[in-house]
Amino acid sequence: MNIQEALNVFGLTGEVNQAELKKAFKRLAVKYHPDKNPIGAEMMKMINAAYEFLTNNIGKINQFQSQNEEDVYNYSDEIESVLKTIVTLEGVIFEVIGNWVWIRGETKNHKEILKSLKCKWAPSKKEWYYRPEEHKSVYNRKTHTIEEIREMYGTNGQRKAKGKKQLEKTN
């Protein structure tokens, strides 16, 4: 995750200080509280990772954020939409690590849906992933195992999608 990606999780632009960051964090924490939102636990993993990253780099935020308006968008809204679809796919297991979503399990039947969500296939890991569009690593082609990625970015586990039938029962 870089500074711009973390800012996009909160939808923040311009001069950002600790108070604004904390306010944005609280707003998203209320919106995605696991008791209020079925995908809240997954969203909070990403929000917590972005908040921790920005807090640790608070002095660098304004120096390294993009000045290009096209680079700024609300990634939390985007990923919420993706997760709401993924959670309905029967037999699919997904995990939010940093601001990426890793998808495994019975994905073959859902290949076209995953492609329509702009998920990409990672042949070396045999898993699908969804990531911020601006995160195109042209300079770092080192491959990491999923365990190394979990260790680097933190996660508290994977979640099995309920599928449409089971999701309707819980709503």
* DSSP state letters, 108-166: GGGHHHHHHTT-EEETTTTEEEE--TT---SS------HHHHHHHH-----EE--HHHH
Position 121 pLDDT exceeds 90: yes
50 and 82 co-located in one domain: no
Domain limit, last residue, from 59, 76, 93: 76
Average pLDDT of the chain is 80
Q: How many domains does the chain have?
A: 2
Between 16 and 142, the higher pLDDT residue: 16
145 and 115 co-located in one domain: yes
pTM of this prediction?
0.68
66 and 83 co-located in one domain: no
Position 114 pLDDT exceeds 90: yes
72 and 82 co-located in one domain: no
Q: Put residue 51 in one of left, alpha, beta given phi > 0 → left and psi -120 to 50 → alpha.
A: alpha
26 and 95 co-located in one domain: no
CA pseudo-torsion sign 117, 118, 121, 127: negative
Least confident of 11-20, 59-68, 106-115, 162-171: 162-171
Domain limit, last residue, from 76, 99, 118: 76
